[in-house]
Structure 1
Amino acid sequence: MSLERVKEYVLEHDINAEAVLVGGSYVTGGAVAGSDMDVVIIDDTIEHYCRESVNYEGIPLEIFKYNQSSLDMIMTTESFTGIPFMTRLTAESVILLQCKQTGSAIIQKAKKLLTEGPHPISTSEIDSRRYQITDLLQDFEVERPFHETVYILIELLSDVQELICREKACWSGKGKWAARALTEADPTFQKRLEETVAHYFKTSKKEQLVQCVDEKLACYGGRLFAGYIE
Protein backbone atom coordinates (compact mmCIF):
# COMPACT_ATOMS: atom_id res chain seq x y z
CA MET A 1 0.00 0.00 0.00
CA SER A 2 1.33 3.44 -0.87
CA LEU A 3 1.57 6.14 1.78
CA GLU A 4 -0.73 8.27 -0.36
CA ARG A 5 -3.48 5.66 0.01
CA VAL A 6 -3.04 5.78 3.79
CA LYS A 7 -3.30 9.56 3.64
CA GLU A 8 -6.54 9.27 1.66
CA TYR A 9 -7.96 6.83 4.20
CA VAL A 10 -7.16 9.13 7.12
CA LEU A 11 -8.62 12.20 5.45
CA GLU A 12 -11.82 10.28 4.79
CA HIS A 13 -12.15 9.33 8.44
CA ASP A 14 -10.57 12.24 10.35
CA ILE A 15 -11.06 15.59 8.67
CA ASN A 16 -9.66 17.44 11.72
CA ALA A 17 -6.24 15.83 11.62
CA GLU A 18 -3.49 18.42 12.14
CA ALA A 19 -0.74 15.93 11.46
CA VAL A 20 -0.57 12.34 10.22
CA LEU A 21 2.57 10.30 10.77
CA VAL A 22 3.40 6.78 9.62
CA GLY A 23 5.98 4.73 11.47
CA GLY A 24 6.94 1.18 12.39
CA SER A 25 8.41 -1.51 10.22
CA TYR A 26 6.92 -0.18 6.97
CA VAL A 27 9.07 2.91 7.40
CA THR A 28 12.17 1.39 9.02
CA GLY A 29 12.34 -1.42 6.45
CA GLY A 30 11.61 -4.35 8.72
CA ALA A 31 8.12 -5.19 7.48
CA VAL A 32 7.30 -8.85 6.89
CA ALA A 33 4.14 -10.65 5.81
CA GLY A 34 1.43 -9.73 8.29
CA SER A 35 3.15 -6.60 9.57
CA ASP A 36 0.80 -3.79 10.44
CA MET A 37 1.25 -0.15 9.49
CA ASP A 38 1.39 2.25 12.43
CA VAL A 39 -0.38 5.56 11.90
CA VAL A 40 -0.25 8.44 14.40
CA ILE A 41 -2.93 11.10 14.07
CA ILE A 42 -2.72 14.42 15.90
CA ASP A 43 -6.16 15.93 16.34
CA ASP A 44 -6.71 18.65 18.95
CA THR A 45 -10.48 18.30 18.68
CA ILE A 46 -10.40 14.98 20.53
CA GLU A 47 -10.22 14.91 24.33
CA HIS A 48 -8.69 11.50 24.94
CA TYR A 49 -6.26 9.06 23.39
CA CYS A 50 -7.88 6.54 21.06
CA ARG A 51 -6.46 3.41 19.42
CA GLU A 52 -8.18 1.79 16.46
CA SER A 53 -7.28 -1.29 14.41
CA VAL A 54 -8.62 -1.63 10.86
CA ASN A 55 -7.91 -3.65 7.73
CA TYR A 56 -7.57 -1.47 4.66
CA GLU A 57 -6.87 -2.97 1.24
CA GLY A 58 -5.47 -6.07 2.92
CA ILE A 59 -3.07 -4.15 5.19
CA PRO A 60 -3.70 -4.01 8.94
CA LEU A 61 -3.55 -0.43 10.20
CA GLU A 62 -2.87 0.42 13.84
CA ILE A 63 -4.14 3.95 14.29
CA PHE A 64 -3.15 5.99 17.35
CA LYS A 65 -5.06 9.23 17.88
CA TYR A 66 -3.82 11.92 20.25
CA ASN A 67 -4.20 15.60 20.84
CA GLN A 68 -0.84 17.34 21.16
CA SER A 69 -0.86 17.59 24.96
CA SER A 70 -1.75 13.94 25.47
CA LEU A 71 1.03 12.80 23.12
CA ASP A 72 3.49 15.04 24.96
CA MET A 73 2.34 13.51 28.24
CA ILE A 74 2.72 9.89 27.08
CA MET A 75 6.23 10.51 25.75
CA THR A 76 7.25 12.21 29.01
CA THR A 77 5.79 9.28 30.96
CA GLU A 78 7.79 6.84 28.85
CA SER A 79 11.01 8.63 29.81
CA PHE A 80 10.28 7.50 33.39
CA THR A 81 8.96 4.00 32.66
CA GLY A 82 11.91 3.37 30.34
CA ILE A 83 9.87 1.77 27.53
CA PRO A 84 9.69 4.18 24.56
CA PHE A 85 6.90 2.66 22.51
CA MET A 86 5.25 5.88 21.39
CA THR A 87 8.44 7.92 21.57
CA ARG A 88 10.28 5.59 19.18
CA LEU A 89 7.30 5.19 16.88
CA THR A 90 6.96 8.97 16.58
CA ALA A 91 10.69 9.65 16.24
CA GLU A 92 11.03 7.18 13.38
CA SER A 93 7.88 8.28 11.55
CA VAL A 94 7.49 10.08 8.26
CA ILE A 95 4.99 12.89 7.77
CA LEU A 96 2.00 12.32 5.52
CA LEU A 97 0.43 15.68 6.21
CA GLN A 98 0.67 18.50 8.70
CA CYS A 99 -0.57 21.98 9.50
CA LYS A 100 1.77 24.70 10.77
CA GLN A 101 4.72 22.28 11.11
CA THR A 102 2.86 20.33 13.83
CA GLY A 103 4.22 16.98 12.67
CA SER A 104 7.78 18.22 12.31
CA ALA A 105 7.80 19.68 15.83
CA ILE A 106 6.44 16.47 17.34
CA ILE A 107 8.97 14.29 15.53
CA GLN A 108 11.85 16.53 16.61
CA LYS A 109 10.73 16.36 20.23
CA ALA A 110 10.44 12.57 20.05
CA LYS A 111 13.91 12.28 18.51
CA LYS A 112 15.34 14.45 21.30
CA LEU A 113 13.72 12.33 24.01
CA LEU A 114 14.81 9.11 22.34
CA THR A 115 18.41 10.33 22.10
CA GLU A 116 18.49 11.55 25.70
CA GLY A 117 17.33 8.17 26.96
CA PRO A 118 15.21 7.38 30.02
CA HIS A 119 15.57 8.98 33.41
CA PRO A 120 18.12 7.16 35.57
CA ILE A 121 16.79 4.76 38.18
CA SER A 122 17.55 5.18 41.86
CA THR A 123 19.35 2.81 44.22
CA SER A 124 16.01 1.85 45.76
CA GLU A 125 14.64 0.98 42.32
CA ILE A 126 17.69 -1.19 41.64
CA ASP A 127 17.13 -2.95 44.97
CA SER A 128 13.47 -3.49 44.10
CA ARG A 129 14.49 -5.21 40.86
CA ARG A 130 17.14 -7.28 42.66
CA TYR A 131 14.45 -8.44 45.08
CA GLN A 132 12.07 -9.38 42.26
CA ILE A 133 14.79 -11.25 40.38
CA THR A 134 15.82 -13.08 43.56
CA ASP A 135 12.25 -14.24 44.09
CA LEU A 136 11.98 -15.42 40.48
CA LEU A 137 15.34 -17.22 40.61
CA GLN A 138 14.25 -19.09 43.74
CA ASP A 139 10.98 -20.06 42.06
CA PHE A 140 12.84 -21.15 38.93
CA GLU A 141 15.28 -23.34 40.88
CA VAL A 142 12.49 -25.33 42.54
CA GLU A 143 11.28 -28.44 40.71
CA ARG A 144 7.78 -27.78 39.46
CA PRO A 145 5.60 -28.49 36.39
CA PHE A 146 7.27 -27.43 33.14
CA HIS A 147 4.54 -24.99 32.14
CA GLU A 148 4.92 -23.13 35.45
CA THR A 149 8.69 -22.98 35.01
CA VAL A 150 8.33 -21.52 31.52
CA TYR A 151 6.17 -18.64 32.73
CA ILE A 152 8.57 -17.96 35.60
CA LEU A 153 11.45 -17.90 33.14
CA ILE A 154 9.66 -15.46 30.83
CA GLU A 155 9.17 -13.02 33.70
CA LEU A 156 12.74 -13.57 34.93
CA LEU A 157 14.26 -12.76 31.54
CA SER A 158 12.13 -9.63 31.24
CA ASP A 159 13.13 -8.38 34.69
CA VAL A 160 16.83 -9.07 34.11
CA GLN A 161 16.69 -7.16 30.83
CA GLU A 162 14.95 -4.25 32.48
CA LEU A 163 17.48 -4.04 35.33
CA ILE A 164 20.48 -4.07 33.00
CA CYS A 165 19.06 -1.58 30.52
CA ARG A 166 17.75 0.87 33.09
CA GLU A 167 20.91 0.80 35.22
CA LYS A 168 22.90 1.63 32.08
CA ALA A 169 20.49 4.50 31.34
CA CYS A 170 19.34 2.69 28.20
CA TRP A 171 15.80 2.14 27.00
CA SER A 172 14.23 -1.20 27.88
CA GLY A 173 11.40 -3.04 26.15
CA LYS A 174 8.75 -5.72 26.12
CA GLY A 175 8.45 -8.75 23.85
CA LYS A 176 10.77 -8.57 20.84
CA TRP A 177 11.90 -5.13 21.98
CA ALA A 178 13.26 -6.60 25.21
CA ALA A 179 15.75 -8.71 23.25
CA ARG A 180 16.66 -5.77 21.03
CA ALA A 181 17.13 -3.46 24.02
CA LEU A 182 19.37 -5.91 25.88
CA THR A 183 21.43 -6.56 22.74
CA GLU A 184 22.02 -2.83 22.43
CA ALA A 185 22.78 -2.29 26.12
CA ASP A 186 24.92 -5.38 26.78
CA PRO A 187 25.49 -7.55 23.67
CA THR A 188 27.99 -9.86 25.37
CA PHE A 189 25.61 -10.75 28.17
CA GLN A 190 22.66 -11.05 25.78
CA LYS A 191 24.58 -13.65 23.77
CA ARG A 192 25.52 -15.63 26.86
CA LEU A 193 21.98 -15.45 28.24
CA GLU A 194 20.58 -16.68 24.94
CA GLU A 195 23.00 -19.62 24.97
CA THR A 196 22.11 -20.63 28.54
CA VAL A 197 18.37 -20.38 27.82
CA ALA A 198 18.84 -22.61 24.76
CA HIS A 199 20.85 -25.05 26.89
CA TYR A 200 18.05 -25.21 29.45
CA PHE A 201 15.38 -25.98 26.86
CA LYS A 202 17.61 -28.60 25.26
CA THR A 203 18.70 -30.39 28.45
CA SER A 204 16.22 -29.26 31.16
CA LYS A 205 19.26 -28.42 33.28
CA LYS A 206 18.98 -25.06 35.00
CA GLU A 207 22.44 -24.61 36.50
CA GLN A 208 24.06 -22.69 33.65
CA LEU A 209 21.14 -20.29 33.32
CA VAL A 210 20.97 -19.66 37.06
CA GLN A 211 24.74 -19.08 37.19
CA CYS A 212 24.55 -16.67 34.26
CA VAL A 213 21.88 -14.56 35.96
CA ASP A 214 23.57 -14.74 39.37
CA GLU A 215 26.88 -13.52 37.96
CA LYS A 216 25.22 -10.56 36.30
CA LEU A 217 23.13 -9.83 39.39
CA ALA A 218 26.34 -9.71 41.43
CA CYS A 219 27.25 -6.54 39.52
CA TYR A 220 24.37 -4.83 41.32
CA GLY A 221 24.90 -6.39 44.75
CA GLY A 222 23.68 -9.94 44.18
CA ARG A 223 20.49 -11.58 45.35
CA LEU A 224 18.43 -9.61 47.84
CA PHE A 225 15.91 -10.93 50.33
CA ALA A 226 16.76 -10.53 54.01
CA GLY A 227 16.60 -6.91 55.07
CA TYR A 228 14.72 -5.67 52.02
CA ILE A 229 12.13 -3.01 52.87
CA GLU A 230 9.77 -1.47 50.33
Structure 2
Amino acid sequence: MSHDADAQNHPVQQARRLAAELFPDALGVVLSGSAVSGLATTTSDLDVVVLIEDGGETRRETLRFEGRLVELFVHTQAGLAELFAADTASRRGVMQRMYAEGLILSERDGTASRIKQRAEEALRRGPDALYPDAVESRRYSLTDALDDLGDAGDPVERLTIAGVVLSVATDLLCDHRRAWVGGGKWLPRRLREADPEHARALLDGYRRLCEKGEPEELTEAATSVLTLIGGPLREGYARTWYVTAEPRASAAPTGI
Protein backbone atom coordinates (compact mmCIF):
# COMPACT_ATOMS: atom_id res chain seq x y z
CA MET A 1 0.00 0.00 0.00
CA SER A 2 1.35 3.45 -0.91
CA HIS A 3 2.14 6.19 1.58
CA ASP A 4 -0.83 8.22 0.28
CA ALA A 5 -3.16 5.26 0.74
CA ASP A 6 -1.85 4.73 4.28
CA ALA A 7 -2.56 8.37 5.07
CA GLN A 8 -6.08 8.09 3.64
CA ASN A 9 -6.79 5.03 5.79
CA HIS A 10 -5.36 6.55 8.96
CA PRO A 11 -8.13 6.45 11.60
CA VAL A 12 -7.87 10.18 12.39
CA GLN A 13 -8.30 11.09 8.72
CA GLN A 14 -11.21 8.70 8.38
CA ALA A 15 -12.82 10.23 11.46
CA ARG A 16 -12.43 13.73 10.02
CA ARG A 17 -14.18 12.64 6.83
CA LEU A 18 -16.94 10.98 8.86
CA ALA A 19 -17.48 14.18 10.87
CA ALA A 20 -17.65 16.31 7.73
CA GLU A 21 -19.96 13.92 5.89
CA LEU A 22 -22.37 12.80 8.62
CA PHE A 23 -22.31 15.65 11.13
CA PRO A 24 -21.54 18.92 9.34
CA ASP A 25 -23.84 20.89 11.67
CA ALA A 26 -22.74 19.34 14.97
CA LEU A 27 -21.76 21.59 17.87
CA GLY A 28 -18.72 19.40 18.30
CA VAL A 29 -17.21 16.11 17.15
CA VAL A 30 -14.50 14.41 19.21
CA LEU A 31 -12.46 11.32 18.36
CA SER A 32 -11.47 9.19 21.33
CA GLY A 33 -10.08 5.75 22.13
CA SER A 34 -7.21 3.90 20.51
CA ALA A 35 -7.22 6.10 17.41
CA VAL A 36 -6.05 9.01 19.58
CA SER A 37 -3.79 7.09 21.95
CA GLY A 38 -1.79 5.68 19.04
CA LEU A 39 -2.80 2.08 19.78
CA ALA A 40 -5.17 1.66 16.84
CA THR A 41 -4.69 -1.20 14.40
CA THR A 42 -6.20 -1.71 10.96
CA THR A 43 -9.18 -3.43 12.59
CA SER A 44 -9.69 -1.03 15.51
CA ASP A 45 -13.00 0.78 15.60
CA LEU A 46 -13.47 4.52 15.87
CA ASP A 47 -15.00 5.96 19.04
CA VAL A 48 -16.64 9.22 17.99
CA VAL A 49 -18.47 11.59 20.34
CA VAL A 50 -20.97 13.94 18.68
CA LEU A 51 -22.57 16.93 20.40
CA ILE A 52 -25.77 18.09 18.71
CA GLU A 53 -28.36 20.81 19.31
CA ASP A 54 -30.89 20.34 22.12
CA GLY A 55 -34.06 18.81 20.75
CA GLY A 56 -32.11 16.06 19.03
CA GLU A 57 -31.78 12.46 20.20
CA THR A 58 -29.16 11.27 22.66
CA ARG A 59 -28.15 7.79 21.55
CA ARG A 60 -25.41 5.28 20.91
CA GLU A 61 -25.09 3.80 17.45
CA THR A 62 -22.76 1.39 15.66
CA LEU A 63 -22.14 1.71 11.94
CA ARG A 64 -19.44 1.10 9.36
CA PHE A 65 -17.71 3.97 7.55
CA GLU A 66 -15.23 3.38 4.72
CA GLY A 67 -14.95 -0.21 5.86
CA ARG A 68 -14.10 0.65 9.47
CA LEU A 69 -16.44 -0.02 12.39
CA VAL A 70 -17.56 3.14 14.20
CA GLU A 71 -19.07 3.55 17.66
CA LEU A 72 -21.04 6.80 17.78
CA PHE A 73 -21.92 8.51 21.06
CA VAL A 74 -24.42 11.19 20.04
CA HIS A 75 -25.91 13.54 22.61
CA THR A 76 -27.42 16.92 23.25
CA GLN A 77 -26.03 19.19 25.96
CA ALA A 78 -28.90 18.16 28.24
CA GLY A 79 -28.19 14.52 27.43
CA LEU A 80 -24.50 15.04 28.13
CA ALA A 81 -25.27 16.39 31.60
CA GLU A 82 -27.16 13.16 32.36
CA LEU A 83 -24.35 11.02 30.94
CA PHE A 84 -21.74 12.86 33.03
CA ALA A 85 -23.90 12.38 36.13
CA ALA A 86 -24.40 8.66 35.43
CA ASP A 87 -20.70 8.09 34.76
CA THR A 88 -19.81 9.92 37.96
CA ALA A 89 -22.27 7.81 39.96
CA SER A 90 -20.84 4.60 38.48
CA ARG A 91 -17.32 5.88 39.29
CA ARG A 92 -16.22 5.05 35.74
CA GLY A 93 -16.07 8.52 34.18
CA VAL A 94 -16.42 7.06 30.68
CA MET A 95 -17.79 10.10 28.86
CA GLN A 96 -15.59 12.48 30.86
CA ARG A 97 -12.55 10.53 29.72
CA MET A 98 -13.69 10.45 26.10
CA TYR A 99 -13.83 14.24 26.07
CA ALA A 100 -10.76 14.83 28.22
CA GLU A 101 -8.49 12.50 26.25
CA GLY A 102 -10.14 12.94 22.87
CA LEU A 103 -9.13 14.89 19.78
CA ILE A 104 -11.56 17.63 18.73
CA LEU A 105 -12.32 17.16 15.04
CA SER A 106 -14.77 20.04 14.70
CA GLU A 107 -16.67 22.48 16.90
CA ARG A 108 -18.80 25.60 16.88
CA ASP A 109 -18.10 28.56 19.14
CA GLY A 110 -15.60 26.62 21.27
CA THR A 111 -18.33 24.40 22.73
CA ALA A 112 -16.37 21.15 22.57
CA SER A 113 -13.28 22.83 24.03
CA ARG A 114 -15.26 24.05 27.04
CA ILE A 115 -16.71 20.59 27.63
CA LYS A 116 -13.26 19.07 27.29
CA GLN A 117 -12.00 21.41 30.02
CA ARG A 118 -14.93 20.48 32.28
CA ALA A 119 -14.20 16.81 31.71
CA GLU A 120 -10.51 17.24 32.54
CA GLU A 121 -11.41 18.98 35.79
CA ALA A 122 -13.88 16.24 36.70
CA LEU A 123 -11.29 13.53 36.13
CA ARG A 124 -8.77 15.35 38.29
CA ARG A 125 -11.30 15.61 41.13
CA GLY A 126 -11.96 11.90 40.96
CA PRO A 127 -15.17 10.06 41.86
CA ASP A 128 -17.07 10.48 45.10
CA ALA A 129 -16.18 8.04 47.87
CA LEU A 130 -18.35 4.99 48.40
CA TYR A 131 -20.71 5.16 51.35
CA PRO A 132 -19.39 3.29 54.42
CA ASP A 133 -22.03 0.56 54.14
CA ALA A 134 -21.03 -0.04 50.50
CA VAL A 135 -17.39 -0.40 51.54
CA GLU A 136 -18.41 -2.79 54.30
CA SER A 137 -20.46 -4.85 51.86
CA ARG A 138 -17.48 -5.12 49.48
CA ARG A 139 -15.14 -6.04 52.33
CA TYR A 140 -17.48 -8.87 53.25
CA SER A 141 -17.77 -9.98 49.61
CA LEU A 142 -14.01 -10.05 49.15
CA THR A 143 -13.49 -11.92 52.44
CA ASP A 144 -16.11 -14.47 51.39
CA ALA A 145 -14.58 -14.87 47.91
CA LEU A 146 -11.11 -15.40 49.39
CA ASP A 147 -12.51 -18.08 51.70
CA ASP A 148 -14.13 -19.76 48.69
CA LEU A 149 -10.91 -19.48 46.70
CA GLY A 150 -9.01 -21.31 49.42
CA ASP A 151 -11.60 -24.11 49.43
CA ALA A 152 -12.09 -24.44 45.66
CA GLY A 153 -11.02 -27.78 44.24
CA ASP A 154 -12.61 -27.49 40.82
CA PRO A 155 -10.31 -25.60 38.39
CA VAL A 156 -13.20 -23.85 36.62
CA GLU A 157 -14.74 -22.73 39.91
CA ARG A 158 -11.33 -21.49 41.03
CA LEU A 159 -10.99 -19.35 37.91
CA THR A 160 -14.49 -17.93 38.35
CA ILE A 161 -13.88 -17.06 42.00
CA ALA A 162 -10.52 -15.49 41.09
CA GLY A 163 -12.33 -13.11 38.73
CA VAL A 164 -14.59 -12.03 41.61
CA VAL A 165 -11.57 -11.53 43.88
CA LEU A 166 -9.80 -9.37 41.30
CA SER A 167 -12.91 -7.31 40.54
CA VAL A 168 -13.90 -6.59 44.15
CA ALA A 169 -10.32 -5.94 45.26
CA THR A 170 -9.92 -3.48 42.38
CA ASP A 171 -13.16 -1.72 43.30
CA LEU A 172 -12.09 -1.34 46.93
CA LEU A 173 -8.58 -0.20 46.04
CA CYS A 174 -9.79 2.39 43.52
CA ASP A 175 -12.24 3.76 46.07
CA HIS A 176 -9.49 3.91 48.70
CA ARG A 177 -7.31 5.91 46.28
CA ARG A 178 -10.28 7.98 45.03
CA ALA A 179 -9.57 6.73 41.54
CA TRP A 180 -11.88 5.90 38.65
CA VAL A 181 -12.78 2.26 38.01
CA GLY A 182 -13.25 0.36 34.77
CA GLY A 183 -14.53 -2.91 33.36
CA GLY A 184 -13.15 -5.34 30.81
CA LYS A 185 -9.78 -4.24 29.45
CA TRP A 186 -10.16 -1.01 31.42
CA LEU A 187 -10.09 -2.80 34.77
CA PRO A 188 -6.32 -3.45 34.77
CA ARG A 189 -5.66 -0.04 33.20
CA ARG A 190 -7.55 1.85 35.89
CA LEU A 191 -6.11 -0.40 38.57
CA ARG A 192 -2.56 0.43 37.49
CA GLU A 193 -3.39 4.13 37.48
CA ALA A 194 -4.86 3.94 40.98
CA ASP A 195 -2.06 2.04 42.71
CA PRO A 196 0.79 0.61 40.60
CA GLU A 197 2.31 -1.47 43.41
CA HIS A 198 -0.87 -3.22 44.51
CA ALA A 199 -1.96 -3.49 40.89
CA ARG A 200 1.19 -5.40 40.01
CA ALA A 201 0.67 -7.83 42.88
CA LEU A 202 -3.01 -8.42 42.09
CA LEU A 203 -2.53 -8.82 38.35
CA ASP A 204 0.55 -11.03 38.66
CA GLY A 205 -1.29 -13.18 41.19
CA TYR A 206 -4.33 -13.42 38.95
CA ARG A 207 -2.24 -14.38 35.95
CA ARG A 208 -0.36 -17.03 37.95
CA LEU A 209 -3.63 -18.57 39.06
CA CYS A 210 -4.95 -18.60 35.49
CA GLU A 211 -1.73 -20.08 34.09
CA LYS A 212 -0.65 -22.38 36.92
CA GLY A 213 -3.77 -22.87 39.00
CA GLU A 214 -1.95 -21.54 42.06
CA PRO A 215 -4.04 -19.09 44.17
CA GLU A 216 -1.49 -18.14 46.83
CA GLU A 217 -0.14 -14.94 45.24
CA LEU A 218 -3.61 -13.60 44.41
CA THR A 219 -4.81 -14.42 47.92
CA GLU A 220 -1.88 -12.58 49.46
CA ALA A 221 -2.35 -9.54 47.18
CA ALA A 222 -6.10 -9.30 47.82
CA THR A 223 -5.58 -9.74 51.57
CA SER A 224 -3.13 -6.83 51.45
CA VAL A 225 -5.87 -4.68 49.88
CA LEU A 226 -8.31 -5.78 52.57
CA THR A 227 -5.80 -4.73 55.23
CA LEU A 228 -5.74 -1.22 53.75
CA ILE A 229 -9.53 -0.99 53.97
CA GLY A 230 -9.96 -2.36 57.48
CA GLY A 231 -9.24 -6.06 57.18
CA PRO A 232 -11.37 -9.14 56.48
CA LEU A 233 -14.99 -8.99 57.54
CA ARG A 234 -16.89 -12.07 58.71
CA GLU A 235 -18.44 -12.20 62.19
CA GLY A 236 -20.45 -9.14 63.07
CA TYR A 237 -21.43 -8.26 59.51
CA ALA A 238 -25.14 -7.57 59.12
CA ARG A 239 -27.18 -5.98 56.38
CA THR A 240 -30.81 -4.96 56.35
CA TRP A 241 -33.05 -4.90 53.28
CA TYR A 242 -35.92 -2.44 53.39
CA VAL A 243 -39.06 -3.61 51.60
CA THR A 244 -40.53 -0.74 49.59
CA ALA A 245 -43.67 -2.45 48.33
CA GLU A 246 -46.10 -4.97 49.71
CA PRO A 247 -46.08 -8.33 47.90
CA ARG A 248 -49.00 -8.97 45.59
CA ALA A 249 -51.79 -11.14 46.88
CA SER A 250 -51.79 -14.64 45.44
CA ALA A 251 -54.16 -15.12 42.53
CA ALA A 252 -54.79 -18.74 43.61
CA PRO A 253 -58.00 -19.50 45.54
CA THR A 254 -57.53 -19.80 49.28
CA GLY A 255 -58.71 -22.64 51.48
CA ILE A 256 -57.67 -25.42 49.10
**TM-score of the alignment, normalized to the shorter chain, above 0.5:** yes
Question: Are the equivalent residues in 2 in contact too, given 1:16–1:45 (CA < 8 A)?
Answer: no
In the other structure, the counterpart of 2:126 is: 117
In the other structure, the counterpart of 1:127 is: 136
1:46 Cα deviation after fit: 4.8
1:75 Cα deviation after fit: 1.5
Aligned mates of 1:9, 1:80 — CA distance in 2: 32
Structure 1 pair 184–9 and aligned structure 2 pair: CA distance change class (3 A)? closer
Q: Which runs of 4+ in 1 moved over 6 A?
A: none
Aligned mates of 1:207, 1:105 — CA distance in 2: 49
Question: In structure 1, what residue type is equivalent to 2:137?
Answer: S
Quick check: 1:56 aligned with 2:58? no
In the other structure, the counterpart of 1:6 is: 15
Quick check: 1:136 aligned with 2:145? yes
Structure 1 pair 133–48 and aligned structure 2 pair: CA distance change class (3 A)? farther
Quick check: 1:20 aligned with 2:48? no
Question: In structure 2, what residue type is equivalent to 1:114?
Answer: L
The CA RMSD over aligned residues, in Å, is 2.1
Gaps of 5+ in 1: none
Question: Are the equivalent residues in 2 in contact too, given 1:46–1:66 (CA < 8 A)?
Answer: no
Q: Deviations over 1:57-98 (max 9, x none)?
A: 232211111111211221233223211211111111122222
Question: Are the equivalent residues in 2 in contact too, given 1:27–1:94 (CA < 8 A)?
Answer: yes
Q: Deviations over 1:84-135 (max 9, x none)?
A: 2111111111222222221111111111111111112232222121012122
Question: Which structure: larger Rg?
Answer: 2
Aligned mates of 1:45, 1:33 — CA distance in 2: 35
Structure 1 pair 20–134 and aligned structure 2 pair: CA distance change class (3 A)? same
Aligned mates of 1:190, 1:45 — CA distance in 2: 42
1:157 Cα deviation after fit: 0.5
In the other structure, the counterpart of 1:104 is: 113
Quick check: 1:90 aligned with 2:61? no
In the other structure, the counterpart of 2:83 is: 74
**Structure with bigger RCO (C-alpha 8 Å, 6+ apart):** 1
Question: Are the equivalent residues in 2 in contact too, given 1:196–1:209 (CA < 8 A)?
Answer: yes
Structure 1 pair 11–202 and aligned structure 2 pair: CA distance change class (3 A)? closer
Q: How does 1:80-229 map to 2 (within 5 A)?
A: 80-229=89-238
- Name the TM-score, length of structure 2 as normaliser: 0.81
1:202 Cα deviation after fit: 4.0
Q: Deviations over 1:35-71 (max 9, x none)?
A: 2111011112555431111222232211111111211
Gaps of 5+ in 2: 1-8, 240-256
1:200 Cα deviation after fit: 2.4
Aligned mates of 1:212, 1:45 — CA distance in 2: 48
Aligned mates of 2:206, 2:14 — CA distance in 1: 44
